[in-house]
Amino acid sequence: MKLYYSPLACSLADHIALREAGMAFEAERVDLRTFRTAGGEDFARINPKKYVPALILDDGTMITENLAVLDWIAGETPALQIGGAMGRTRVIEALTYITTEIHRAYKPMWHAGSAADKARAGNTVLRLMQPLSDGSQGDYLFGATPSVADFYLFVMLLWADRFALDLPLPLLGLRERMKARPAVQAAMAAEGIG
User: 50 in the Ramachandran plot: left (φ > 0), alpha (ψ -120 to 50) or beta?
Assistant: left
Q: Which residues does 179 contact at the CB level (< 8 Å), separation at least 6?
A: 185, 188
**Shared domain check, 122 and 175:** yes
Predicted confidence band at 112 (pLDDT cuts at 50, 70, 90)?
Answer: confident
- Tell me phi and psi for residue 2, to 5 degrees: -135, 135
**Shared domain check, 66 and 122:** no
Predicted confidence band at 172 (pLDDT cuts at 50, 70, 90)?
Answer: very high
Domain count, the chain: 2
Q: What is the DSSP string of the chain?
A: -EEEE-TTSTHHHHHHHHHHHT---EEEEEETTTTEETTS-BHHHH-TT--S-EEE-TTS-EEESHHHHHHHHHHH-GGGSPPSTTHHHHHHHHHHHIIIIIIHHTHHHHTT--HHHHHHHHHHHHHHHHHHHHH--SSBTTBSS--HHHHHHHHHHHHHHHTT----HHHHHHHHHHHTSHHHHHHHHHHT--
**Shared domain check, 105 and 174:** yes
**Shared domain check, 41 and 132:** no
**Shared domain check, 86 and 59:** no
**Shared domain check, 112 and 31:** no
pLDDT value at position 10?
A: 97
**Shared domain check, 116 and 59:** no
**Shared domain check, 174 and 110:** yes
Predicted confidence band at 113 (pLDDT cuts at 50, 70, 90)?
Answer: confident
**Shared domain check, 94 and 37:** no
**Shared domain check, 187 and 166:** no
CATH label of the domain that carries residue 92: 1.20.1050.10
- The whole domain housing 170 covers 81-181
**Shared domain check, 11 and 55:** yes
CATH label of the domain that carries residue 61: 3.40.30.10
**Shared domain check, 129 and 38:** no
pLDDT value at position 137?
A: 85
Cα distances (Å, whole numbers) of residue 89 to 32, 65, 81: 32, 18, 11
Q: What is the mean pLDDT of the chain?
A: 96
What is the pTM assigned to this prediction?
0.96
